[in-house]
C-alpha cells in the first residue's frame, strides 16, 4: 500500500487535503469518490505539496508586472476582509484592472472558479504566479483565512520589491560609468587613432615610434579596418554566451563564479538567506508544514549553485532529521543564521525567528551593497583613467619625441 496526497472538495464546498493509503492512484481516487468527495488531484506522498500544486496544462500566459501584481493582491485582500465573496472580488478587480495581461488572466481564473476549480488551482494553472503565492492560497483555503494569508504575502512581496529597488538603485551609477567609459574608449580607438596614423607615418624620428604607440596603433587600425566582420562576430559571441548562460549548466558555472568574487559572493549569500527565511516564514505562518515550505521556498532560490546545495535538505527533513541540522549540512548558510533558526526550532518559535533572520540579513545585505558600490565607483574611474592615459600617451609621445629631437632638443 502506498500513500497519496489528495486535493478534495467536500459536499459543503470546502477544499481539503488528505493523505490516503491505496494500491495506486486510481484506487485512491475511486475510494474517495465513494466517500462523497470531488477529487481534484492525486499525487504520491513522496513528492509532497509540489505535486499537489503542479502547474496546469494551460501554461504561462502574459507576464504580469510586479507592481500590478502587488496592487492586485492588496486590493484582493482588502475586498475579502470586507466580506465580499472570492468570485465577486475577482470579477470587480478584473473590471478595474489597468493591465491587459492581468485582466486576461483574471478572466480565465474567474471562468475556472465558476466551473468548480479551487482558487489556488485556478491561479496555479496560469503558470504566471510564484509558487509561494499559490501555496499560500492553498494554506488559506485549508484554514479558511485567505485574507490573513494574503495580508502576510503582501508584506513579504513589499519587502522583496524594496530590496530589488535598492539593488537596482545602487548599481545604476556604476553601470552608467562603465557604459560611458566603454563608449569613450571605443570612440578614441575606432575614430581618433586611425586618423592619427597618417600623421605618425610622416614623423621623422631616429628612434622610431614608441612601443605603446605601435601597440595601440596596431590594435586600433586592425579593429577599424575589420569592423564590419569583427562587430558581427562579437554580437554572435555575446549572443552565444547569453544563450549558454540561460542553460542549466551555464547558470551553474556563472553562479559558482559569482560566489567566488570578493564582496559579491557574500552579498549573494546574504540576499539569498534573507529571501529564503522570509519565504519560509510566510509559508509556515500560513499553516504549511516545514518540509513542504522548504520544498517551495528552496525552488525560489535564484543562485543555481546555492539551490543545488540546498537539494539535500528536504530528504533529510523527511527522514526525521532536525531542520537546523539539515540546513547546516547544506554548507552555505551563515553560522549565525543556523544558530538563530536552531534556537527558534527548539523553543517552538521558528516562524518568529525566521522573520528575525530575514530582517537581520536584509540589513547586512544593505551594508554589503553599500560597500560594493563604494568600491566599484572609484575602481571603474581608475580603470577608465588608465585606459585613457595609455591612449593619450600613444598619441602624444611621438610628438614629444619629434620636438625633443629638433634643433632645440638636440642641444
- pTM greater than the 0.85 cutoff: no
The CATH code belonging to domain 163-411 is 1.20.81.30
pLDDT of res. 410: 46
- Give the residue from 80, 153, 143 showing the smallest Cα distance to 288: 143
CB 222 within 8 A of CB 213: no
287 exposed, middle or buried (CB, 10 Å; 0-12, 13-18, 19+)?
middle
pLDDT of res. 114: 86
Residue 180: other Cβ atoms inside 10 A: 12
pLDDT of res. 57: 42
Return all residues near 262 (Cβ < 8 A) that are at least 6 apart: none
- The residues that bridge with 397 in the sheet, in sequence order, are none
Q: What residues of the chain score a pLDDT lower than 50?
A: 54-59, 408-411
Q: Do domains 66-158 and 163-411 have the same CATH topology?
A: yes
HSE of 98 in the Cβ direction (CA atoms, 13 Å)? 4
Give the domain 2-47 fold. Answer: Ubiquitin-like (UB roll) (3.10.20)
Map residue 11 onto helix, strand or coil: coil
Please list the helix, strand and coil fractions of the chain in percent, rounded to the nearest 5, in that order.
75, 5, 20
Architecture of domain 66-158: Up-down Bundle (1.20)
Residue 25: other Cβ atoms inside 10 A: 16
pLDDT of res. 147: 84
- Give the residue from 150, 329, 328, 332 showing the smallest Cα distance to 340: 328
pLDDT of res. 55: 46
Euclidean distance between CA atoms 262 and 266, whole angstroms = 7
Q: How far apart are the first and last CA of the chain?
A: 104
- In this structure, what C-alpha cell is assigned to residue 267? 552579498
Would you list the domain boundaries of the chain?
2-47, 66-158, 163-411
Amino acid at each position: 500500500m502506498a500513500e497519496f496526497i489528495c486535493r478534495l472538495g467536500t459536499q459543503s464546498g470546502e477544499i481539503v487535503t488528505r493523505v490516503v493509503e491505496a494500491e495506486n492512484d486510481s484506487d485512491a481516487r475511486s475510494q474517495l469518490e465513494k466517500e462523497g468527495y470531488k477529487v481534484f488531484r492525486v499525487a504520491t506522498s513522496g513528492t509532497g505539496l509540489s505535486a499537489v500544486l503542479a502547474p496546469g496544462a494551460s501554461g504561462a500566459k502574459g507576464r504580469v508586472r510586479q507592481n500590478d501584481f502587488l496592487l492586485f493582491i492588496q486590493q484582493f485582500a482588502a475586498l475579502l476582509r470586507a466580506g465580499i465573496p472570492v468570485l465577486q472580488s475577482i470579477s470587480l478587480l478584473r473590471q478595474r484592472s489597468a493591465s491587459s495581461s492581468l485582466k486576461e488572466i483574471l478572466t480565465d481564473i474567474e471562468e475556472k472558479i465558476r466551473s468548480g476549480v479551487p482558487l489556488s488551482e485556478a491561479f496555479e494553472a496560469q503558470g504566471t504566479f510564484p509558487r509561494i503565492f499559490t501555496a499560500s492560497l492553498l494554506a488559506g483555503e485549508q484554514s479558511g483565512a485567505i485574507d490573513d494569508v494574503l495580508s502576510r504575502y503582501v508584506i513579504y512581496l513589499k519587502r522583496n520589491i524594496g530590496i530589488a529597488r535598492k539593488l537596482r538603485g545602487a548599481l545604476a551609477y556604476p553601470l552608467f560609468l562603465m557604459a560611458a567609459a566603454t563608449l569613450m574608449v571605443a570612440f578614441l580607438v575606432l575614430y581618433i587613432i586611425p586618423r592619427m596614423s597618417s600623421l605618425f607615418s610622416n614623423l621623422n624620428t631616429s628612434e622610431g615610434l614608441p612601443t605603446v604607440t605601435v601597440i595601440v596603433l596596431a590594435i586600433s587600425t586592425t579593429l577599424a579596418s575589420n569592423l564590419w566582420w569583427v562587430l558581427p562576430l562579437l554580437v554572435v559571441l555575446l549572443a552565444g554566451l547569453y544563450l549558454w548562460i540561460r542553460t542549466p549548466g551555464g547558470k551553474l558555472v556563472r553562479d559558482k563564479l559569482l560566489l567566488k568574487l570578493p564582496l559579491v559572493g557574500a552579498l549573494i549569500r546574504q540576499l539569498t538567506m534573507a529571501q529564503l527565511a522570509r519565504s519560509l516564514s510566510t509559508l509556515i505562518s500560513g499553516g504549511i508544514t516545514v518540509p513542504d515550505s522548504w520544498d517551495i521556498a528552496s525552488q525560489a532560490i535564484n543562485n543555481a549553485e546555492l539551490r543545488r546545495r540546498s537539494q539535500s535538505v528536504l530528504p533529510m527533513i523527511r527522514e526525521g532529521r532536525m531542520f537546523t541540522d539539515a540546513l547546516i549540512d547544506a554548507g552555505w548558510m551563515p553560522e549565525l543564521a543556523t544558530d538563530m533558526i536552531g534556537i527558534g526550532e527548539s523553543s517552538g518559535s521558528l516562524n518568529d525567528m525566521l522573520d528575525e533572520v530575514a530582517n537581520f540579513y536584509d540589513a547586512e545585505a544593505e551594508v554589503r551593497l553599500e560597500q560594493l558600490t563604494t568600491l566599484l565607483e572609484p575602481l571603474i574611474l581608475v580603470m577608465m583613467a588608465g585606459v585613457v592615459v595609455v591612449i593619450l600617451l600613444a598619441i602624444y609621445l611621438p610628438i614629444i619625441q619629434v620636438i625633443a629631437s629638433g634643433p632645440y632638443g638636440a642641444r
